[in-house]
Amino acid sequence: MKRNTITIVSDGSKFVINNKGDLAINCNSIRSCESDNTVLSGSRSADIIDGMINGVMNDVYWVSADYHLYKEKLKSGTDREKALKDTKDVIKLHNSIVKPEDSFIFLGDLSESEYADSGYEVLKVIKETTSRLNGKKALIIIGNNDTCTNKFYKECGFKFISRAPTLSNNKLILSHYPANVSGEQINVHGHIHGSKKYWGLDPKNHIDCYWKLWNGPVKYSRLLKELKSGNYKGVRVNGDSNEPETSDSHL
């Protein structure tokens, strides 16, 4: 495979890394976790998971997804100013809503899979960028672009890491990919980038917390209000792909 180079810039420093092109993984296939008490796995984590889900339902946590830090540098012809601007916009919006004392849950795709094997200096840039996000980072649910180690996400400031595709109780499912719901469960998810297109999945009781859709992190009460009012209407699309077309459409 032909290898390209990607340059990302932060605080005046420039790093050049290899782009391997295809490192994405399907988080639905991930069932096991590293042996680490910060990784949510098994019955020992049931109380923590239940507490977090109830916390989301009671607006204790802000939620968001798909920040894709430095994503623009993976596109040919994109200049360094554009890459920095997009990431700075995420930080600015996040910090205008989430206060340092608040708690925050992130539903996947912090950056890009191509950066996973890029070396210490590039990962250091991403960690430093993440550290500028306000709030106590309670949890990250791993998305398809989150291919770094659990240690990396812990160093980014996340207290808990979930590599299970969903965290749920009988009322709410948190996930990166849209997930199947049962009864009156509601699925708060990321991945589809505001497109409102659900591939091979009934969109009922699903709502995307993509940051551009809500102009930053959002509380569950607002998501529930928009869902119940009919302002958010997903569309079922038949197909086998897990990668629907995306857009930055707003409500």
Are the C-beta atoms of 189 and 209 separated by less than 8 Å?
yes
d(C-alpha 134, C-alpha 94), whole Å: 7
Q: Is residue 10 one of the residues assigned to a domain? A: no
- Is residue 243 predicted with pLDDT exceeding 50? no
Q: Is residue 231 one of the residues assigned to a domain? A: yes
Are the C-beta atoms of 48 and 159 separated by less than 8 Å?
no
How confident is the model over 51-108, as pLDDT tens digits? 999 999 999 999 999 999 987 666 555 566 666 777 889 999 999 999 999 999 999 9
Q: Is residue 15 one of the residues assigned to a domain? A: no
How confident is the model over 10-40, as pLDDT tens digits? 333 332 322 322 222 222 222 222 334 567 6
How many structural domains is the chain composed of?
1
Comparing 45 with 130, the larger pLDDT belongs to 130
d(C-alpha 248, C-alpha 98), whole Å: 21
Q: Is residue 1 one of the residues assigned to a domain? A: no
From residue 44, alpha-carbon distances to 41, 52, 56, 91, 137 in Å are 7, 14, 20, 34, 21
Are the C-beta atoms of 105 and 63 separated by less than 8 Å?
yes
pTM across the whole model? 0.79
Q: Is residue 4 one of the residues assigned to a domain? A: no
Q: Is residue 13 one of the residues assigned to a domain? A: no
Token pair recorded at residue 137: 């980072």
Confidence label for 3 from pLDDT (cuts 50, 70 and 90): very low
Q: What backbone torsions phi and psi does residue 131 show, to the nearest 5 degrees?
A: -65, -20
How confident is the model over 132-154, as pLDDT tens digits? 999 999 999 999 999 999 999 99
CATH number at residue 81: 3.60.21.10
State the pLDDT at residue 242.
Answer: 47
Q: Which residues pair with 106 in a beta bridge?
A: 64, 140
Q: Is residue 248 one of the residues assigned to a domain? A: no
Q: Provide the residue range defining the domain that includes 134.
A: 22-237
Q: How many CB atoms lie within 10 A of CB 102?
A: 15
d(C-alpha 178, C-alpha 72), whole Å: 24
> How would DSSP label each residue in 165-180?
SEEE-SSEEEESS---
Q: Is residue 243 one of the residues assigned to a domain? A: no
